[in-house]
Amino acid sequence: MMNPAMTFEGAHPLAATIARLVWLLPLLPLLGFLINGALAMLGAAKIGPADPSEGHHSEGHGNGHGGVHGHEHDDAHDHADHGHPPRHKFAGIVSLVGPGVLVAAFLLASAIFFAMRGVEMEHPYVLTLFSWMPVGDLNLNATILLDPLSMTMVMVVTGVGMLIHIFSVGYMQDDPGYPRYFAYLNLFVFFMLILVLGGSYPLLFVGWEGVGLCSYLLIGFWFSEKANADAGKKAFIVNRIGDFGFLVAMFLMFANLGTLDILGVADKAKDLPMGGAVATAIALFLFLGCTGKSAQIPLYTWLPDAMAGPTPVSALIHAATMVTAGVYLVARASGVFSMAPVAQLTVAAVGALTAFFAATIGLKQWDIKKVLAYSTVSQLGYMFVGVGVGAYVAGIFHLATHAFFKALLFLGSGSVIYAMHKAYHATHNHDDAQDMRNMGGLRHHMPITFCLMWIATLAIAGIPLFSGFFSKDEILAAVFARTHGSTLAEASLLGIPGSTVLFIVYGLGLVSALMTAIYMTRMMLYTFHGPNRTGEAERPHLAEAPWVMTGPLVVLGILAAFGGWLNVPALLGAIGPVGGLEHWLEPVVGENALRTTLGEAAHLSHSTELVLVGTAIAIAVAGIAFAVWRLKPAALVAKKDAPAAEGIARVLENKYFVDEGYDAAIVQPTVAVSRNVLWKGFDAGVIDGLFVNGSALLARAFGWMGSQLQTGHLGTYAWVLLIGVLTILGAFTYR
Amino acid sequence: MLAEALALSAVLFAIGVIGVLTRRNAIIIFMCVELMLNAVNLSFVALSTLYGASGQVFVVFTMTVAAAEAAVGLAIIIAIFRHVKTVNLQNINLLKG
Amino acid sequence: MQPNEFHPIAYSAAFYFFGLTALASAIAFVTRKSPVAAAMWLVNVMFCLAGLYVMLDAQFIGAIQVLVYAGAIMVVFLFVIMLLNLGHASELADARGRWGQVLALLVGLALVAPLLALSKGDLLNRMIPPDLAARAAAAAAAPTAGGVIGPVAEPLFKEYLLAFELTSVLLLAAIVGAVVLGKRRTDAR
């Protein structure tokens, strides 16, 4: 079936603008990947990955023992005091190409964005590149789908990606794998752009898998440390479970809707019965894919471990872009989701549970990156609550603001780790550079990072006028609004009425918001306030990172502070134009969002809205105040002197022992079955024993029989020959 | 007479086979093979009355091959006899590796 | 089918005479214990076959049958038998046991049955080319150059010339092989 956009392709107003060069967007990072990859291979003959034995080492910690491995890593600053080690011989050209392609891509994206602002977008712009898979009934083209939603994602990916690339130039400068790092990072952006621009689900899936691959490669970037390589494998394997869901969803789409085209599916989904089994199944399987990629319950365990990668990678892939792909997918498939209220409730419930659950774990983590990792899981939960209840704009809005402030937090923590590591390295101390118990008082040493990270903290906590406030509040308000007069409220999940589910979701959201404020403030207090616990010898070496690193932080700081102006709520109409993002995304998700709210825009009375906003603000302030009141950074002791945690704190510190639980419930039985049944029973017994050795035995038996015929006596041979002759002759004569 | 000639050929061939199977003297076995060749030659000649002289040409070739075979075969028998002092195949199993 | 020079009854009589003699001689050949006696019976078979060849209008083949087979090859056999002095008891008791002989006879019968079936039966009639009469008439009308040898010589040196030349190579190889094998190894000691 032709979708409307196809029909209009030739005459689309965007075809006459720079938007026709949209295919260049993914191509630019790909070019960067090819160049950097070639340089990495050329340089690989000389310099391999960092050797842990030389004191390089391991930013990551396996899970559950955060911080046991002492010295932290970042080859970048090893040897700082022995004079700089020689940089990679291609470092110059890589520093130019790696961030360069991203700058170019961002400029192009901006140009396309302004071109899109300039024309009336009645239909999405679909650019068909080439015929990809013409197989039977399935005629799949490689198409680029450019609409406000994908444009928003492109802006986030290229914009935040560009800043993080620039930051990486400083952070990774002395790493022996410098070109390899940028090659992977460029490749990641390439796949991410394929993901957001792909015009069909299979193409989206190509990007989906591609970013997974890059994530794996970058988590295990310092693969000479086993924990890092294991973390990479864990991420990869856990994601495969989700990808299975995505694949099944695509099969279902093709079987039931007859198309895999994004617009085609959206078009056909309208005709599905409301709440029918097909739409629900497709939506739930898609969401299974999302739980893997976006680290939701039950597949979230890989994300905290993914912190083993370099910190800019955590910022780009595991906070700002890749992990939000699931949110994007739900918004993309909003046509299907809005037809399946049960699936929507599931998404919202899982999102809220994840937000709550991860926030509690975040309360007791000591590793600065682990705090941020659980915070990311928690915030992703918020996004799913948003898109789950059909407030797609709110979800995407939070995605964008989260990309700003979480990227800032990660890069800021990278800055801190950089300084800590440098200090430890200067004194040959092998203590943990990521443990907050070893920090404290850093505000005196790194004032810029300190200020910027506070901005991000206020943003994530939901302090008014900072970006996170707008987006988080919008999500919570949307949930509240849908408790009445929506398809969700009328549906039920596991026997619980939809409105009850939504109230629970709302409650969990509020509690999570409180805990978010607490753990973020806790992180800031322990890191930057109070006395310094790094050590007497190290203290003089603590210093702000170079400008190539703080520069991107400043830009992100501005975005984190003012990102909320993207979509100002009507209530605060006084401060700027209302609902920018809402209008921008309206052509894509508007209709589907309305379907959930029964045809009328979700509406809350002015007073209700004021109460909700007031509650949110009160909770944010209370969280921060509580943390400041209760937590005493001065009382904290350095990690090596710290006592083991007790009681509930121990449970939280160990992340509810979920990893151990998965290990006991899934991994160990799988291993046991594999070892005892599949390996020792089937492989060794049936395959090796029966088939391999059995066939050899059979051949030997025949060989033995044959050898018995070889008596060496001509008479025997004559007899055998005669028998053969008789057989053939008989066969010819008496057939 | 064609049918009789072919029947004789078949019987002579079978007698040659029986000889090969029953005798153990290498030279006699060899002669049995010659008998089989002659039986085949008889077939060729008999059928050449139907199909022209090509069959007779084949007989000439067969005889040539038989002569060559006899020369080489007997030389082998002499060589073996020198080695094991017998031509009884029961006692010769040099073919067994 | 038989050549015109023969009276049919005389022809048949001579044919059966040669055939039965050949058969009897062959049986005698395989049953003789003495290699020399066996060889003599085989020579007899070959003479009979030579006679049959002549009766089947293959006079040249009959002639070389006598010359090459009976005259040359069999003489070589006898020569070897006498050279090796294969007369003593251990060499004479060379036949297999009773059961072996019975089994061999059965195999021989099994072998001859399909051969007889092939040479009798319908197959033989089907083997006769349809233009046989015309061909025979043409052959009779055209006086063949070179008498009885001509019909053999012509394909031999035209159609099968290459094969004929190759047989000379084969004979050369056989001569060389026989010489090498028959030569006493003087260098071995």
Between chains, do C174 and B72 touch, taking CB under 8 Å as contact? yes
Does residue C16 have a pLDDT over 50?
A: yes
Between chains, do B21 and A722 touch, taking CB under 8 Å as contact? yes
Does residue C135 have a pLDDT over 90?
A: no
Name the pLDDT band for A201 (thresholds 50, 70, 90).
Answer: very high
B26 CB within 8 Å of a chain C CB: no
Burial class (CB in 10 A: 0-12, 13-18, 19+), C38: buried
pLDDT digit string (tens) for A438-481? 888 888 888 889 999 999 999 999 888 888 888 998 899 889 88
Report the run of H or E that residue A144 belongs to, with start and end. Answer: strand A138-146
What percent of chain C is modeled with pLDDT above 90? Answer: 28
C170 CB within 8 Å of a chain B CB: yes
Average pLDDT over residues A518-528: 90
Predicted confidence at residue C50, as pLDDT, reads 93
Between chains, do B93 and A711 touch, taking CB under 8 Å as contact? yes
pLDDT digit string (tens) for C150-179? 888 888 888 899 999 999 999 999 999 988
The minimum CA-CA distance between C27 and chain A, rounded to whole Å, is 20
Q: Got the DSSP string for chain B?
A: -HHHHHHHHHHHHHHHHHHHHH--BHHHHHHHHHHHHHHHHHHHHHHHHHH-THHHHHHHHHHHHHHHHHHHHHHHHHHHHHHHS--BGGG--TT--
B94 CB within 8 Å of a chain A CB: yes
Predicted confidence at residue B81, as pLDDT, reads 84
Average pLDDT over residues A529-553: 84
List chain C residues with CB under 8 Å of B14. 108-109, 111-112, 115
The packing angle between helices A368-388 and A392-426, to 10°, is 170
Does residue B38 have a pLDDT over 90?
A: yes
Between chains, do A710 and B96 touch, taking CB under 8 Å as contact? yes
Q: Of A75-79, A322-326, A555-559, which gets the smallest average pLDDT?
A: A75-79
Of A383 and A65, the one with more pLDDT: A383
Name the residue of chain C whose CA is nearest to A718's CA.
C104
Beta strands in A147-187 (DSSP E): none
List chain C residues with CB under 8 Å of B29. none
Q: In sequence order, what are the beta bridge partners of A143? A: A128
Between chains, do B35 and C151 touch, taking CB under 8 Å as contact? no
The answer to whether the CB of B61 falls within 8 A of the CB of C157 is: no
List chain C residues with CB under 8 Å of A729. 111, 114-115
Does residue A660 have a pLDDT over 60?
A: yes
- Please name the chains neighbouring C, where neighbouring means 3+ C-beta pairs under 8 angstroms: A, B
What percent of chain A is modeled with pLDDT above 90? Answer: 28
Predicted confidence at residue A154, as pLDDT, reads 92
Nearest to B59 by CA among C151, C118, C25, C172: C151
Q: Of A18-22, A219-223, C112-116, C171-175, which gets the smallest average pLDDT?
A: C112-116
| Ramachandran class of C90: left when φ > 0, alpha when ψ lies in -120 to 50, beta otherwise | alpha
Of C35, C80, C112, the CB nearest to B11: C112
Task: Mutate one of B69, B74, B76 to test the C interface: name it (highest C CB count within 10 A).
Answer: B74
Predicted confidence at residue C91, as pLDDT, reads 54
List chain B residues with CB under 8 Å of C105. 18
Nearest to A271 by CA among A199, A335, A212: A335
Output Rg (C-alpha) for chain C, integer angstroms: 22
Predicted confidence at residue A399, as pLDDT, reads 92
Range of A271-275, C27-31, C184-188 with top mean pLDDT: C27-31
pLDDT digit string (tens) for A589-616? 878 888 887 777 767 788 888 888 899 8
Average pLDDT over residues A169-186: 88
Average pLDDT over chain A reads 83
Burial class (CB in 10 A: 0-12, 13-18, 19+), A696: exposed
Name the residue of chain A whose CA is nearest to C114's CA.
A733
Q: In sequence order, what are the beta bridge partners of A149? A: none
Between chains, do C155 and B57 touch, taking CB under 8 Å as contact? yes
DSSP code for A711: -
b/e code A403-436 from CB counts within 10 Å (16+ = b): bbbbbbbbbbbbbbbbbbbbbbbbbebebbbbbb
What CA–CA distance (Å, rounded) separates A228 from A215?
Answer: 12
Of A517 and B23, the one with more pLDDT: A517
Predicted confidence at residue A45, as pLDDT, reads 55
Chain B stretch 52-81, residues whose beta carbon is closer than 8 A to a beta carbon of chain C: 52-54, 56-57, 59-61, 63-72, 74-79, 81
Alpha-carbon distances, residue B65 vs A161, A288, A420, A689, B32 (angstroms): 88, 82, 97, 53, 15
Nearest to A192 by CA among A386, A6, A25: A25
Predicted confidence at residue A656, as pLDDT, reads 75
Beta strands in A495-641 (DSSP E): 496-497
Burial class (CB in 10 A: 0-12, 13-18, 19+), A17: middle
Of A571 and C152, the one with more pLDDT: C152
Q: Got the DSSP string for C55-72?
A: HTT-HHHHHHIIIIIIII
B15 CB within 8 Å of a chain A CB: no
Name the residue of chain C whose CA is nearest to B19's CA.
C30
Q: In sequence order, what are the beta bridge partners of A133? A: A140
The answer to whether the CB of A16 falls within 8 A of the CB of A88 is: no
What CA–CA distance (Å, rounded) separates A271 from B97?
Answer: 81
Predicted confidence at residue A510, as pLDDT, reads 92
Does residue C88 have a pLDDT over 80?
A: no
Between chains, do C29 and B19 touch, taking CB under 8 Å as contact? yes
Of A733 and A181, the one with more pLDDT: A181
Handedness of CA A334, A335, A337, A338 (dihedral sign): positive
Predicted confidence at residue C6, as pLDDT, reads 65
What CA–CA distance (Å, rounded) separates B54 from B47?
Answer: 10
Nearest to A227 by CA among A316, A305, A304, A312: A305
Nearest to A145 by CA among A4, A288, A294: A4
List chain C residues with CB under 8 Å of A726. 107, 110-111
Predicted confidence at residue B52, as pLDDT, reads 78
List chain B residues with CB under 8 Å of A713. 89-90, 92-93, 95
The packing angle between helices A368-388 and A498-528, to 10°, is 160
Residue range B2-91 forms a domain whose CATH class is mainly alpha
ipTM of this complex prediction, to 2 decimal places: 0.90
CB atoms within 10 A of CB A177: 23
The minimum CA-CA distance between C139 and chain B, rounded to whole Å, is 10
Nearest to A469 by CA among A412, A522, A415, A398: A398
Does residue A269 have a pLDDT over 90?
A: no
Between chains, do B70 and C73 touch, taking CB under 8 Å as contact? yes
List chain C residues with CB under 8 Å of A725. 111
Range of A599-608, B61-70, B87-96 with top mean pLDDT: B61-70
B28 CB within 8 Å of a chain A CB: no
Query: For residue B35, what are the contacts with CB-CB under 8 A and spacing of at least 6?
Result: B12, B13, B15, B16, B19, C26, C29, C42, C45
A724-733 contacts: CB < 8 A, separation 24 or more? A725/C111, A726/C107, A726/C110, A726/C111, A729/C111, A729/C114, A729/C115, A730/C110, A730/C114, A732/C114, A733/C114, A733/C117, A733/C118
Between chains, do B95 and A718 touch, taking CB under 8 Å as contact? no
Predicted confidence at residue A717, as pLDDT, reads 81
C133 CB within 8 Å of a chain B CB: no
The answer to whether the CB of B34 falls within 8 A of the CB of C40 is: no
B87 CB within 8 Å of a chain C CB: yes
The minimum CA-CA distance between B94 and chain A, rounded to whole Å, is 6
Which tokens is A179 given? 């070109």
Does residue A3 have a pLDDT over 70?
A: no
List chain C residues with CB under 8 Å of A722. 107, 111
Q: In sequence order, what are the beta bridge partners of C151? A: none
Burial class (CB in 10 A: 0-12, 13-18, 19+), A52: middle
- Domains observed in chain C: 8-112 (1.20.120.1200)
Between chains, do A722 and B17 touch, taking CB under 8 Å as contact? yes
Predicted confidence at residue C118, as pLDDT, reads 65
The minimum CA-CA distance between C138 and chain B, rounded to whole Å, is 12
pLDDT digit string (tens) for B50-61? 877 888 999 999
Between chains, do B29 and A713 touch, taking CB under 8 Å as contact? no
List chain C residues with CB under 8 Å of A730. 110, 114
The answer to whether the CB of A418 falls within 8 A of the CB of A448 is: no
Between chains, do C111 and A725 touch, taking CB under 8 Å as contact? yes
Name the pLDDT band for C4 (thresholds 50, 70, 90).
Answer: low
Predicted confidence at residue A597, as pLDDT, reads 78
Between chains, do C11 and B1 touch, taking CB under 8 Å as contact? yes
Between chains, do C111 and A722 touch, taking CB under 8 Å as contact? yes
Q: In sequence order, what are the beta bridge partners of B88? A: B25
Task: Mutate one of B89, B91, B92 to test the A interface: name it (highest A CB count within 10 A).
Answer: B89
Q: In sequence order, what are the beta bridge partners of A134? A: A139
The minimum CA-CA distance between B93 and chain C, rounded to whole Å, is 16
List chain C residues with CB under 8 Å of B76. 181
The answer to whether the CB of A262 falls within 8 A of the CB of A200 is: yes
The answer to whether the CB of A224 falls within 8 A of the CB of A49 is: yes
B8 CB within 8 Å of a chain C CB: yes
Between chains, do B64 and C167 touch, taking CB under 8 Å as contact? yes
Q: Tokens 């921008």 map to which residue?
A: A584
The minimum CA-CA distance between C109 and chain A, rounded to whole Å, is 11
B96 CB within 8 Å of a chain A CB: yes
Q: Is A694 helix (H, G, I), strand (E, B) or coil?
A: helix
Domain ranges of chain B: 2-91
Does residue A700 have a pLDDT over 90?
A: yes
Q: What is the pTM of this model?
A: 0.67
